[in-house]
Structures are given as C-alpha cells and as structure tokens.
Structure 1
Amino acid sequence: MVKKRKTASKLAIKQAFTRLIHEKGFESLTVMEIAREAGINRGTFYTHYIDKYDLMEKLEMETIEDLKKILLRPNEGDVNDPLELIPYPLILEALVYVKKDFDFVSAIAGPGGDRHFVSRIKGILSELIESKINQSTSLEFKKENLPEDYALEILLSSIVAIILLWIKKGGVESPEDIATMVHKARQISPYELLI
C-alpha cells in the first residue's frame, strides 16, 4: 500500500511539473507550486526530491536512460550498410516511447524546459553512430575537406531537427511517419531538396 502511494505521489508530481513547465517554464516555478498543482504537501514532495532541480534531473535521466536502452541495443542489421547507422526499428521504438510520454518530453525539450536535453539526445545518437562505425569493417566518415566531427554534426543535426520539429508541432504525425522521414533524410542531401 505504501509503495502504491509513493508511486501515485511521484506520478502526480511529474504531471504537475510537466503542466507547470508548459505554462510558465522551469525557471519560474517553485516547489510550492508543484506541490499545490500535484495536490500534495511540500513534505511529500521532499520525501522524493531535494528540490526542483533534483526533480528535473531524475525525471530527465529516467527518460535518457530509457532511450539509451532502446537506441544502443544491438541490432541485427548489416553493420557495413550506412543506412543502418541509425536503424529504422530502433528510431521507431524510441519515437513510440517519446509519444507515450509526449507531454513530459515536449515540456523539457521546449523553450521553458532544459536547454541541455537536446544535447543529451544528440549524445545518445552520437554514441549509436560511433558504435556502429566501430563495429563496421568498411564504414568511416571520408568526405574531402570535411572533418569527421563536422560530418557527424551534419548527420546528427538533421535527425535531431526532424524530431524537434515533430515535438514542436505537437506530435501530430505518427512515430512511423517521423521514423520514415529520419530514414529518408539520411539519403538526401540539402541540395537535392531544392531540385
């Protein structure tokens, strides 16, 4: 019974926190407002979290760890196929996960949330790409006059930009549609978009 109450309290805190970030932004909210919005007293809040920064860190890291488990899981795809650097099934599963917790993810990824969240997502994708390149016998960044770190940034930025636009638009498209766009974006150069 106590565990159920703790779980219910934490869920109420997360939901209140998410609503308040959307309404007023992280920096402007207080623990008192979170507790009031969650329908709990401050003492209950403090049994779970030190302060609002601890709350943000724990909730965000839970999301990051879940996304890491999805995206960094071994995949059966061909490690020498450049299109398998970021496999469609893993991207789709990650997007389905985001869709299930869309209110929270959109709050922390939005202008009132944590400005470091997007960097953390890019970090996971970078880790995925680097692990695939390390497993491959033939893949490497080899564009003339374009250092590897810039090539990686171009690849990561296009993927993250698609996902962020999807979040900004309210997740109206399905995770399948966005995963397909991410997959296609890796095959199209910006020049080809204009002709």
Structure 2
Amino acid sequence: MKTIQTIVDEMITVSRAVQEEEYLQLVQLLQQNKRFFFTGEGRSGFIMKAVAMRMMHAGKTVFVVGETITPSITQEDVLLVLSGSGTTPSSVHVAQQAKKSGATIFLITADADALETAPFSKGLVIPASTKSQKHHTRKTIQPLGNQFDQAAHLILDASIIDATQETSYDSMKKNHANLE
C-alpha cells in the first residue's frame, strides 16, 4: 500500500506543477470543431490511442497516425503529439509533415526546451520523469518513463472532461463500442 500511496502522491505533485495557461490552451484546442490526429511512440502511442477513444466518445472526429484508415491531414486539422523527450524521431517526422500541410501541432512533453524547436509552437509541459537522462532526476520511485506516462494519461483525461462538459453521458455511451 505504501507504493500505491507514493505513486498517487507523485501524480498530485506533477499535476499541480503543470502550468495552468498551457493546460487551458489544450482544453480550448480540444473544444474546437476540428479533426484531431493523435501520435506517440511506444507507451505514449498507447496513451494517445486511449485519448483518441475518449475524444471519439465525446463526438469528436479522431484519427490515430499510422492506422490504415487515417486520412491526409490538412490545415483545418489538429495533430497532438505525446513525447516525453519531445525529440522522438518518428513523432518529430510526423509533426514536420503535418506542419507542411498547415495543421495545428500541439506537443505534450516533459521537456520545455522541445516547445522551442520546430515544428512545435504550442504545447503542454508535464514535469515528470522520463527514461531520458535529462529527466531522470525528477523525484520518483517509478522506473523509466512510468511517471510521465501516468501523468500524461491523467492530465489528458482531465483536459477532455473540461473540453467536453457539454457532452451528455447518453451521447457518449451511444458512441461507445457495441461490438464487444
């Protein structure tokens, strides 16, 4: 039980350190009536699939980069990138391609410096530990990027709740998979 409490305490600490302005910028972006594309590698990719699913439940048009049914991105669309380092080569490549198409690109990362690099111009910093040497000194009992992964999932879930408050439970349930 002590380990569980320590992890919960870590999530509270990390969540409270997120900049409100960046968080609200994300919420406002998610409120828009646009198509949303999600990308991330490894565990970040799994989290982005869960986030895309929640956005779909809320009635948004969503796509996961790399799936066979994902269409071309356009200047009317939004790409959300989850990368602890902000430098994951495949995620940066996808963002560069989206920038060429004129899409809005939003990075969720543990590294504030990544927000200062092209193709990223907007983003949210989650000050959590990642597998990167640069962030391993942030306080955690968890190995590798577990702290970042958990915090990203929690914070992105919260942003969807804040962005879709007008969406009823019944309409969300109607969008939930029924081929289970």
TM bucket normalised to smaller:
under 0.3
**Radius of gyration: which is bigger?**
1
The structure whose residues are more often helix, as a share, is: 1
With structure 1 as the length reference, what TM-score do the two structures score? 0.26
Higher relative contact order (CA 8 A, sep 6+): 2
More strand by share: 2
